[in-house]
Amino acid sequence: MTKQDLWDHYPDGLRADEPIVCIHGSSGTGGRPTLVPYSAHDVDVWASVMARALGGAGATRGSLVHNAYGYGLFTGGLGVHHGAMRLGATVLPLSGGMTERQVRMVADLRPDVLCCTPSYAIHLGEALRRSGVQASFTVGVFGAEPWTEGMRGQIEELLGIRALDIYGLSEIIGPGVACESLDSEGMLNVAEDHFLVEAIDGEGRPVPDGTPGELVFTTLTKTGMPLLRYRTGDIATLAPPVPDSPRTLRRMSKVLGRRDDMLVIRGVNVFPTEIEAVLLADERVSPHYLIVEDRRARPELWVVVEADEEVREDLTKALRQRLGLTCRVVATREGTVPRTETGKARRLVRWTEGEPPVPGLTPPAS
């Protein structure tokens, strides 16, 4: 099954004959929201897997969870909320945005667990630093958008925490489908007692462990809208449990990219996360960047970074070595790349006509 199947039966054609207690929706990764009905049993499962995820990250009944995921149709905020309450922790339901208020709550309440998107973790960390407020967090659980090891390092340095990844999608349950734990060796434990996971190639055939493939999930316990072999569009690798670990769950890597985000530039396949890995490996580069796929004439790839001009040539060489093609790097002043306080960071723009999406690119082709 694919997201198109859900769209074809919008709004509730795939809803099971089960009392529904709430409806959530995707954030529109594929271009429009996808509505998903939840039964009371589904919410119970969701709370359970999220409590498991938070516990694996080191949260306890004595934790204060600073929840800066958005509340509403988007599953992030309420997923963390359900799980933290099930765990017995205290939830601070700040939602996204209102950064000045979030800084005040960190200063006054000293929460120890931070949950938000990785891009907002950086935004909040920068705001704390500007305000002279020392971060109180010991661990952060970050998801809803792909992020690299380089970004992990920047978050950990900025906030002084252990940064862990969480994965989920509303079609399956929301956050909690898989989560990195303190002992999972950099991969995410899949809650496979509730979600059967596969990784497939472009032809739908299973790929071996360690080989990148599209994640496919079957819901084993969901009753509001059960799904059979749902193609997520997310690319990752799978692996068995950590050897000799008490955790017996299969693991998945961080998401490497999305099938529909893969760029084909002059015959070379490129995922945005590959570009981010190069950018964040250079300490002179700000974590705020934008990739622009220029489709106006001959395909070109622009990379806009907030850095000094002297960095531009070094990044051009590093990107050519990593990707096998030349990117047009633009070094610009701080604040040029748009920030986000709510939702997912916009890292990729496809430029087909009109004015450039950010200053510094060439004018429209004639």
More confident residue, 249 or 265: 249
Fold observed for domain 3-258: Rossmann fold (3.40.50)
More confident residue, 259 or 85: 85
> How far is Cα 313 from Cα 330, in angstroms, rounded to an integer?
10
Q: Is the pLDDT of residue 309 over 90?
A: no
- Phi (first) and psi of residue 187, to 5 degrees: -110, 170
Q: What is the DSSP secondary structure assignment for residue 365, as one 8-state letter?
A: P
> How far is Cα 196 from Cα 216, in angstroms, rounded to an integer?
8
Q: Is the pLDDT of residue 299 over 90?
A: no
> How far is Cα 330 from Cα 361, in angstroms, rounded to an integer?
8
Tokens of 117: 């998107």
> How far is Cα 90 from Cα 86, in angstroms, rounded to an integer?
10
Section 298-311 average pLDDT: 84
What single-letter amino acid sits at 45?
Answer: V
Whole-prediction pTM: 0.79
Q: Is the pLDDT of residue 66 over 90?
A: yes
* Residue 301, C-beta contacts closer than 8 angstroms, at least 6 positions apart: 263, 265, 270, 291, 292, 293, 294, 325, 327, 328
144: left (phi over 0), alpha (psi -120 to 50) or beta: left
Section 101-124 average pLDDT: 96
Q: What is the pLDDT of residues 330-345, one digit of tens each?
A: 988 887 887 766 656 6
What single-letter amino acid sits at 24?
Answer: H
Q: Where are the alpha helices (DSSP H) in 91-195?
A: 99-109, 118-131, 149-159
* Residue 154, C-beta contacts closer than 8 angstroms, at least 6 positions apart: 122, 280, 287
More confident residue, 67 or 279: 67
Confirm if 91 and 85 have CB atoms less than 8 A apart: yes
The full set of domain ranges for the chain reads 3-258, 262-351
Report the pLDDT value the prediction gives residue 282, as an integer from 0 to 100. Answer: 84
Q: What is the pLDDT of residues 7-30, one digit of tens each?
A: 888 888 799 988 999 999 875 544
CATH architecture of the domain with residue range 262-351? 2-Layer Sandwich (3.30)
Report the pLDDT value the prediction gives residue 117, as an integer from 0 to 100. Answer: 92
Section 136-142 average pLDDT: 98
Give the percent of the chain with pLDDT over 70: 95
